[in-house]
Each structure stands twice: as C-alpha cells, then as structure tokens.
Structure 1
C-alpha cells in the first residue's frame, strides 16, 4: 500500500534576524503544533542551504483576504513549543511583506489575537502599529493589583508591560554581561506572571538602546523581538529616559525604530527579508 506524502509550499522570511516559516492558511496542515515544533527546531528543523540556518522562531499561518481595501491578513503565529502567540511585531511585518508580494498593496491590515494592526510598506522596510502599551496588572497580566515598576524579581530589577504580549524589562549596564539563558527562566516562570512573560534586557547607548530578549514560547533568546523592542521604549518613557521621539533599539539581528506616543498606537519600523521557498510535509515523518 502506497502512502502519498502530503506537502505544502512555504516561504522563509525574517525581520532583523527574527525568522519565520510562512504557510498560506489555504493549505491544510492537520496538526499545526507538531508542524511548528518539528520545523522550528534549531538542530533538526527546516534548513536554508544558502545561509546554513536551521529552524525558525515560529510558523506564520497567513490567510489573505484580498477583497478588502486595504487587503487583510489573518495571522496565526505558532511558536516552537506549539503554543500560539497573541502578537509578534516582526512576524506582523513579515506578514505584511508576504501580503504585498501577492497584492501589490503598500498598506495591509493584519488581524492578530491581540487586535487588528495596520502595516505600511516602503521598499524593504515595514512599519506596523503595535497597539498602546499597558502597565495595567490586568493587561500584562500580573498576579497582583498594582503595576510592577522597577522592582526586584528573581535577581533583576524589572518593569512589566504588555505590548501585545507580556514583557519584564530590565535596564542593565551592558546587555553583553547578562547570562540571559540562566537569569531569564526564573523570571519567565515567576508566580507574579500567571501566564508567564518574555524577559527583555536593555542598555543605553549613544543613539538608543541595545536589546536582548528571552522569548516565551521559543524558550530561548531570539536574534530580534519586536514586541520586546517596543517594551524597551515604553518602559524607558515611563522611567523618563525618552520622550515621544522615534528611538533606535538594536537587538543582535539589526536595528529597529520605535515610537511610543502618549495614548496612541506605538509603531515598530524595520527591514524585512524574504529568504527562500520550498515544500514541507504536512505530517512530519517521525524519527526512526
């Protein structure tokens, strides 16, 4: 008896090194968590032969509704641990670039579990609205009734903010001196965060901030995190370090430009790159 392997076409995109397998949601993938866990694995996952990168920070399942003006994309990000993230800034920027390649539109609306976000494309640069950051305990969420601002949690002084997903942000002397893989997990799983949190460290530079983020769902550091970059500027503004101006935030993968105006949508701006395309089995073959 012959089994026909079911495959789906995919594309690989990244925004400042935050990389994603992108699949058109019109193609059926029966078990999205298994698909994501398999192909995002940094040792055995999808391989880009040109850059020799293995795996990804998540799978973007995108449903294009091109009859709208501007076109809309329903974005579902399944993370390497099989969970679904409510929001991903760099993922949303990649989704907008993917939609433009199909529609030619320079403005795209992206529907996420955290709300609808407007993206504007200019060359290889994409600016996406990120919602209004919130320090409210019910939004983060926190297991208490007061905001968490500059308090010690598991060894770091952090401020908690929601930028579509929760972040615990710590300003440090140098992000290079932080052993993120060891200091982040206790904060990420702290009782104070009933749904867990991303952990972001930042240090001031002459022209902005450097950033490193340990991502919930990836369960490790990523080369870039858009919601984390917005969280850095939102917290910096709360602490009086910056104003309404656009601020440069530099994760390991490149530069992002962030604006956090008062009571208006924050914005995330940066480049998007389409790496390559291919085919993947919808039901990954188990290891022998």
Structure 2
C-alpha cells in the first residue's frame, strides 16, 4: 500500500472570528478526522497570509493573522430543493463531530448563498434542520428550542442543573444543539478560562462532556461572553451555540424576559440572540468569506 498526497480546493470563512475551513463534500477526503487535525492546527495549519487573491496577499478577514481553524465544515449542497439545502458535517480540531455549531451553520449558509443566489437556505445538521436567511454579510439562523432537560443536555443525574456547583464554578446546564455549562460572573475578563474550564468540561455531571461558557451582564442588558469549546479544547473567539445558551440561561434565571432580542458579545464581535417563549431561538450576526486555497489530503492506494 502506498501513501499519496493530493490537493483539494477549500475556502475559509468566519463568523465573528469563529473560523472554519469549508470543503465541498463532493471532494474526496478519506480520513476526515486526520484532515481536520492537520489543517486546523493553530501552530501548523492552514495559513491565509500566504494566499494570493486577485494578485494581492491577504490575511484572515478577522485581522487576527491566526493559522488553523476552529473546525472543518464538510458541506453537501442540494440545490434542486427550494429553498436550497445544505447537509453540514462539522469535524472539530480533535477529530470529533459536533452535532451543531451556530456560527458554522451561518458560514455554511453564506457559502451556499454565494453558489445558489438564494437568500434563504435549509441547513441539515445532526441536531436537526435549521432555516437560515442571508442579508448581505449578515446571516440569521434558527437554533432550535433550548432544553434544560437532563436527557437532552445530557446530564448524569435525573435533575436539571440550575445554578449548581460543578468543579468550583456555579453553572446552569442547557443544550442549544450541543451541551453548555453557563456561569454568570461579574467580569468575564477576570476568569482564567483555561484554568477553570477543563475540569467542568470533563466533569462527571456531563457524560458526553460540555462546552463551558462564562458571561457577564452589562447595565444595558447586553452580555459579554467567553467559551471554552469541547472538541476545540480551548477558548474560541466566538461561539454561537454558547451565545444562545447565555440568553437561554439568563431567561431561565430571570436575568432577561420577554421575546426581545439580546446582544451577546464574544471577543470576535456582536451576535444578536432571540429566545422566545414559544418556538426556536435565533442567532444573527456577520459571516465573512476570507480566502480560497488548496490543502493536502492523504490518500492510501494499493
């Protein structure tokens, strides 16, 4: 058996700094976990700074200059449907598959809108089908109904986890497509997230692990957010499911009320969240194309 290196075309997108390599699912990637681990690496992964676009060098559109990515979106476009459908599979930097990613789904919608000309898309994810609308560089996506039920999070016990102590952090557990442990703090900048989050992320209370999100509420009712993501195993510049989890938990705890939208600001920018009393939550914000390039794929042949 021989091992060969082939190259496939990819694109890079980001939603408020949450960045993704986008691969058309028609391209053959025999080992998707290995591909994600290789090219998402922040030390040696995909590098936009060396990509030539229309004769000019470019850097990441979020102006961070970072290598790598927060995941790989494998997207299968079904353009014959109306509205067009996109089957989305997110493979994370550790090789695992995430059931849902809000910013990833918004990037998938932007990618599909560019190819179909449609401003309305249906994104099929392992967490369910989500409707997205595209308005210029702004993408809004339905996120499903947040659930605190122990079976849905999931939790090890049969009671909801509401403002409970988990590994020294007071958290509320909610599933917004993926599980989140949300902690409200006085100031997110005062939290050493890399120090406190791993113990919560791997706590016995969460048999499948959890994303760990901290949030602080401002006097104007907006929130600042930071999230340590399961599968990335570190903090990301933005987390859409985490932003929805912040508002869902805040509403459950009486910090916000009604159906009005709430601004949540991770480090990468502002997101607008609605968590209505009835119906799905929504996540809205910018999604931006960065560049196109080609990346190596390992192919084994006899």
Match of 1:262 among 250, 263, 277: 277
How many Å separate the matches in 1 of 2:298 and 2:10? 14
The 5 A counterparts of 1:77-92 are 77-92=90-105
| Unaligned residue ranges in structure 1 (runs of 5+) | none
How many Å separate the matches in 1 of 2:109 and 2:297? 24
Deviation of 1:4 (Å): 6.4
How many Å separate the matches in 2 of 1:87 and 1:146? 24
Match of 1:227 among 234, 241, 246: 241
How many Å separate the matches in 1 of 2:269 and 2:3? 44
Runs of 4+ in 1 over 4 A off after TM superposition: none
How many Å separate the matches in 2 of 1:117 and 1:264? 12
How many Å separate the matches in 2 of 1:3 and 1:231? 44
Q: Which moved more, 1:64-73 or 1:43-52?
A: 43-52
How many Å separate the matches in 2 of 1:173 and 1:241? 13
Q: 2:291 corresponds to which residue?
A: 276
- Conserved? CA contact 2:4–2:298, under 8 Å: no
Q: Confirm whether residue 29 of structure 1 aligns to residue 29 of structure 2.
A: yes
Q: 1:154 corresponds to which residue?
A: 167
Deviation of 1:6 (Å): 1.4
- How many residues align structurally? 284
- Deviations 1:216-272 (CA, angstroms, capped at 9, x unpaired): 000000000000000000000001111221000000000000000013100000001
Q: What is the TM-score when the length of structure 2 is the normalising length?
A: 0.92
How many Å separate the matches in 2 of 1:143 and 1:281? 41
How many Å separate the matches in 1 of 2:242 and 2:159? 22
How many Å separate the matches in 1 of 2:165 and 2:197? 13
The 5 A counterparts of 1:76-155 are 76-155=89-168
Deviation of 1:21 (Å): 0.2
Deviation of 1:282 (Å): 1.2
Q: What is the TM-score when the length of structure 1 is the normalising length?
A: 0.97
- Deviations 1:31-73 (CA, angstroms, capped at 9, x unpaired): 0000000000000000010333200000000000000000000
